[in-house]
Amino acid sequence: MIDQAYYESKNPVVIVTGASSGLGLAFVRLLDETLPEEISFWLIARDEEKLRRLAEGLQHATRCFALDLKEEYSFAVIEDALRSDGVTVQLLVNNAGEGMPGHFETHSVACHRSLCALNVSAQVTLTSIVLPYMEEGSAVIFTSSVAAFLPQPGFATYAASKAFILSFGRALAEELRPRHIGVTVTCPNPMLTEFFTSEEREKLLSSYKRFSIEDPVLVAKKTIAAVRKRKVVVVTSLLGRLVRLFSKVVPQHWIIRFVAKAAKEKP
Ligand SMILES: NC(=O)c1ccc[n+]([C@@H]2O[C@H](COP(=O)([O-])OP(=O)(O)OC[C@H]3O[C@@H](n4cnc5c(N)ncnc54)[C@H](OP(=O)(O)O)[C@@H]3O)[C@@H](O)[C@H]2O)c1
């Protein structure tokens, strides 16, 4: 990836969505430490001030895109920039995402559509826009989740959105093999980031899921290592790998019942 082809590439860039906090921020900091300085960063999130402050502390030339990836116009802005700057995209990190815990019926139709717009539609759209600007040796990362391995009562739309990303990424990896473009889907367990409200964080810390909490910095490191090895799916924790194994060998309806009981959610 990135470290072999970049010096022959025209205007090499790395694009990271959800760059301003949590796992996206960990990706940016790690890439800033490890990538050659010729590569520019394009960082995407809604909060312009946060992006600007982050960019000031980076060694790489950085362009901030304060965009809402639920909005159609955002993709036109990125497409225009790709076209006018004549860049080669070495790495696209499709990371921005949001959660929505609670029973399906407790959320409005707008909430479900909004989650799908960011977690599913934005990732497919951005990938489609960026791929023509990639070359042999480029790579795409998708941030999925351990939630992708099993339907999750109490987190149904979110878990399904992550299952979509896992399925999409795996198929795309095969399609892009002849172009020698790598695709890696990363599947972390819960991380204590801004993804959770303080109330959700407390709930997480008092549930069985607290044993599975991961550090976003380590998740980023393991994911980038997997990209370099051209691994298609990386499950960044032992517990996550066990969940994946269980989901393959134990009848899924048993595990779904267990998850539903453990969540102790009321409709
Ligand atoms: N935290 C976990 O437990 C966990 C576990 C497994 C997988 N994941 C996945 O990891 C990814 C990163 O999550 P995180 O934990 O790092 O959460 P986070 O700290 O909340 O970060 C989310 C990032 O996405 C950006 N973002 C949110 N809505 C956006 C929008 N509409 N348009 C553009 N950017 C937007 C946020 O910046 P702005 O608010 O400025 O836009 C922020 O940079 C997500 O895909 C999530 O599903 C998280």
Amino acid at 115: L
DSSP class of residue 214?
Answer: B
pLDDT-derived band at 264, boundaries 50, 70, 90: low
Position 261 scores a pLDDT of: 82
Polymer length of the chain: 267
Q: Does residue 121's CB lie within 6 angstroms of at least one atom of ligand 1?
A: no
Say if 253 falls within a structural domain: yes
Q: Does residue 191's CB lie within 6 angstroms of at least one atom of ligand 1?
A: yes
Say if 175 falls within a structural domain: yes
- Nearest atom (ligand 1) to Cα of 162: 47
Say if 88 falls within a structural domain: yes
Produce one character per residue of 95-124: b if its CB has 16 or more CB atoms within 10 Å, e if not: bbbbbbbbeeeebeeeebebbbbbbbbbbe
Say if 243 falls within a structural domain: yes
Residue 250 Cα to ligand 1 middle (Å)? 31
- Nearest atom (ligand 1) to Cα of 144: 7
Residue 199 Cα to ligand 1 middle (Å)? 17
Position 8 scores a pLDDT of: 67
By residue range, what is the domain housing residue 49?
6-263
Say if 214 falls within a structural domain: yes
Could you give the percent of the chain with pLDDT greater than 70? 95
pLDDT in tens, 184-214: 999 999 999 999 999 999 988 998 889 899 9
Domains contained in the chain, number: 1
Q: Does residue 20's CB lie within 6 angstroms of at least one atom of ligand 1?
A: yes
pTM of the model: 0.95
Say if 56 falls within a structural domain: yes
DSSP class of residue 120?
Answer: I
18, 23, 47, 60, 160 from 202: Cα distances, Å: 23, 20, 25, 37, 24
Residue 7 Cα to ligand 1 middle (Å)? 31
Closest residue (by CA) to atom 41 of ligand 1? Answer: 46
Find the DSSP H helices in 214-251. 216-228, 238-249
Q: Tell me the CATH number at 52.
A: 3.40.50.720
21, 93, 192, 264 from 47: Cα distances, Å: 10, 18, 20, 35
Within a 10 A sphere around the Cβ of 140, how many other Cβ atoms?
Answer: 26
pLDDT in tens, 74-120: 999 999 999 999 999 999 999 999 999 999 999 999 999 999 999 99
Q: Does residue 13's CB lie within 6 angstroms of at least one atom of ligand 1?
A: no
Identify the CA nearest to 240 among candidates 185, 161, 178, 181. Answer: 185
Say if 1 falls within a structural domain: no
C-alpha 99/C-alpha 191 separation (Å) is 12
Position 267 scores a pLDDT of: 42
> Residue 182's beta-bridge partner residues?
139
